[in-house]
Structure 1
Amino acid sequence: MQIKINDVLRAYIEPLTEAEHAALERSLLAEGCRDALVLWDDILVDGHNRYAICQQHGIPFKVIQNTTFKSMEDVMLWMIDNHLGRRSVGDFQRGVLALRKKDILAQRAEAEAARLKAEDAAIAPPESDAEPVAAKVRTSREDIARAARLSTNTISQIEKIQKTATPELVEAVRAGTISINAAATVATLAPEDQVQAVAGGKKFLQQAAKEIREQRAASRPPKPARPAPWEDGGEPPSLPSEPLTEVEHLRAEVAQLKERNAALRAENAELRERISQLVDAS
């Protein structure tokens, strides 16, 4: 069988890095191609890198057919689920894949709703305004985040990066030069400023994200202090008529210690962040 390469499918999943490609090549040369390539008829679905390396070095390989695919969308959904299950896929790529799955499922739901509406229009009387009930599709932000094993906030940040980040900034996220959180912040800059920040390297990107956050914090209006209940017309707290018992004293001390512990933890986290920034700047 002549295996065909579909360029859309080959580019659908992010390519391996040079280090990952070299490691795969070493493994295939040493151990052979242990996992079979997956085909849809004569189209290669899974194993593009293995296939290219095997062809280059004359390494034998096996193929298996997946007969469940009915459309290119089925193939893409299978590819997404297959890669989401791999531990080697990074957070950003998992988020991108999960969002692609969301788009495919949402389009399918719209198409199904349109089909049902057309069928109902052919059967129901013209004056009927009843909307067809389409099958529910799990495309909420929570569902997508669960599929990618990420938080909903991280999914939102990845969406922002996809919409506003320049290709240079996206590549920096994929390479691990900048975190998803920081990249979403830098993505709010103008495109030329994003490119300049990426060109400055990891430290410059971190500094840019920090400055943007500080500017946002400074521009936020201060939160109004909440009045005490008695200042808002309520009854003032009554003074205890009897002295506190020893147990009550101990409970009060425990509460104070808990508050102090929380404050110390916050201070410790802030200090560690400052130390990390100083180390990066050195």
Structure 2
Amino acid sequence: MNIVVNEELKAYIEPLTPDEHDALERSILTEGCRDALVLWGDVLVDGHNRYGICQKHGLPFQTVQNPRFQSMEDVHLWMIDQHLGRRSVSDFQRGVLALRKREIMAERKARSATATDTAEATPTADVPEAAAALPAPDPLNSREAIAKAARLSSSQVVMIEKIQKQAAPELVAAVKSGTISINAAAAVATLPAEEQVAAAVAGKDELKQAAKRVRELNKRKPREEAPSDDKAHAETAAGAEGNTDELHALRQRVAELTAENTELRRQVAQLQAALPSDSTPF
């Protein structure tokens, strides 16, 4: 039998760790290859590790065809669903797979909408229906749906999205290996890339310390921002108080000038009264 190993499919799902691969190899050497390899035509879809181990030791194996695949996209979705159901897959990897499935479903939906618009504008023709197509996967159109598919909480999905978008490759590798938790990795991912790399290279303890520093900083920020608000209010109050003082000073000055003017008028009146009635001004 000619079996084709597609490297893209082989790498599509996170590979086994060395320890996991060794455990699988011991199991096959003891009990044989119990699960059949899944093929699409002559392309190997599921069972790359089992196939490699059987080839290495010259052990027999069974194969089964899945004729319902219509495209490589169908293959990817099937692979994702298979691994989402396996207990050996880590929480982080299940989240990554569920998010990947959402992307595929979104792209498929967009193409379907475009195809529908095109079909409505094009005269129809008799086209035979595709036989035995795979049923449509459940749409993952909400964070809650993604979390349910990955058997995670919605907050874990948010953190995994943050890690995918912001984490340096070294930090992602640390999460995959279990060196750092999803929660801690999401915190470290907010640091500049060079700091992430330095913490990942330094090891588990430094990663924990980096996550701790980020959390403490985030706790302090609200307390630091509050005084700034108080300061703004104080400055506003001070400004208002300053305006009030200035207005009071102006009113006091007006009162003084009015009093002076009144006094001058009184003095002029006295002078006029002291002059003889027939006197002529100079």
Identify the TM-score tier after normalising by the shorter chain.
Answer: 0.7 to 0.9
2:236: which partner in 1?
Answer: none
From 212, 215, 234, the counterpart of 2:214? 212
Matches within 5 A, 1:82-161: 82-122=82-122, 137-161=139-163
Match of 2:130 in 1: none
> Where do 5+ consecutive residues of structure 1 fail to align?
124-135, 225-282
Q: What corresponds to 2:270 in structure 1?
A: none
Deviation at 1:200, TM superposition (A): 1.6
* C-alpha deviation, 1:191, in angstroms: 1.3
Whether the 8 Å contact between 2:101 and 2:140 is mirrored in structure 1 is no
Q: How does 1:108-257 map to 2 (within 5 A)?
A: 108-122=108-122, 137-220=139-222, 221-222=225-226
| Separation in structure 1 between the aligned mates of residue 87 and residue 140 of structure 2, nearest angstrom | 23
Q: Is the 8 A contact 1:109 1:137 kept in 2?
A: no
Cα distance in 2 for partners of 1:177, 1:222 equals: 36
Q: Which amino acid aligns with 2:47?
A: G
Shift of 1:120: 3.3
Distance 2:156 2:40 in 1: 34
SS in 1 for 2:196: helix
Distance 1:165 1:212, change over 3 A: same
1:125-180 Cα offsets, whole Å, 9 max, x none, are: xxxxxxxxxxx943211111110011111111111111111111111001111000
When normalised by structure 2's length, the TM-score is: 0.72
Aligned equivalents of 2:140, 2:157: Cα separation in 1:
15
SS across alignment from 1:109: helix
Deviation for aligned residue 1:122:
4.8
User: Partners in 1 of 2:65 and 2:150 — Cα distance?
Assistant: 27
Q: Contact between 1:91 and 1:150, CA under 8 Å: does it hold in 2? A: yes
Percent of residue pairs bearing the same amino acid type:
61
**Aligned residue type for 2:49:** N
Aligned residues: 213
SS state of the match for residue 39, structure 2? strand
Stretches of structure 2 that go unaligned for 5 or more consecutive residues are 124-137, 230-282
Amino acid at match of 2:208: Q
2: CA distance, partners of 1:73 / 1:158? 23
The alignment's C-alpha RMSD in Å is: 1.8
Deviations 1:49-101 (A, max 9, x none): 00001000001101000111000010011100001111111100000100110
Distance in 2 separating the partners of 1:98 and 1:84: 8
Map 1:8-87; keep pairs closer than 5 Å.
8-87=8-87
Q: Name the larger-Rg structure.
A: 2
Counterpart residue number, 1:275: none
Once the two structures are TM-superposed, the CA of residue 47 in structure 1 deviates from its matched residue by 0.3
Distance (Å, rounded) in 2 between the aligned partners of 1:70 and 1:193: 45
